[in-house]
Amino acid sequence: MSFITTKKYLKGLFYLSLLFSYLFFSNVPKTTPHLKAESLKKDLIKSIASECFTSLNRDICSESLVEIEELQLFAGSQANYSCQTRLLGMEAKLIMTIFNMPKGKFNIKELEDIKAHCGFLY
């Protein structure tokens, strides 16, 4: 694949991801992240991830994506950027799972990293 073709391909992927983000997140209800995050149970990440990654159901994964987004916003509002970064990574895995991409596999180490850096969830 030539450099120009690769550049066009990457540009196309970038615009596709922007379109997906707009379409998906424009319909997400605007709630205050800290209010919802505080009401979520302790092992939420584990249950969300397990349910999505084991079922591979798009609807379940989409709901999980919205919930992880709420937690990610809460982590950002608390200036817990290491937690926020890991939750963004989990969101990427969920999106890859929704689109049946091979890298969208669940990794237990990632869950342990989230647990270590997102103390407010546990």
Cα-based angle 14, 18, 19 (whole degrees, multiple of 5): 115
Q: pLDDT by residue (tens digit) across 11-32?
A: 666 666 655 665 555 554 444 4
Q: Across all residues in the chain, what is the average pLDDT?
A: 74
Give per-residue pLDDT as tens, 29-61.
444 444 455 444 446 666 777 788 888 888 888
| Other CB atoms within 10 A of residue 40 CB | 16
Q: How far apart are CA 17 and CA 114, in angstroms?
A: 24
Give the per-residue pLDDT at 85.
Answer: 93
Q: Which sequence spans correspond to the domains of the chain?
A: 1-30, 31-121
Could you tell me which residues come within 8 angstroms of residue 97 by beta carbon, excluding any fewer than 6 positions away?
Answer: 52, 53, 56, 61, 104
Residues 6+ apart with CB under 8 A from 14: none
pLDDT value, residue 41: 43
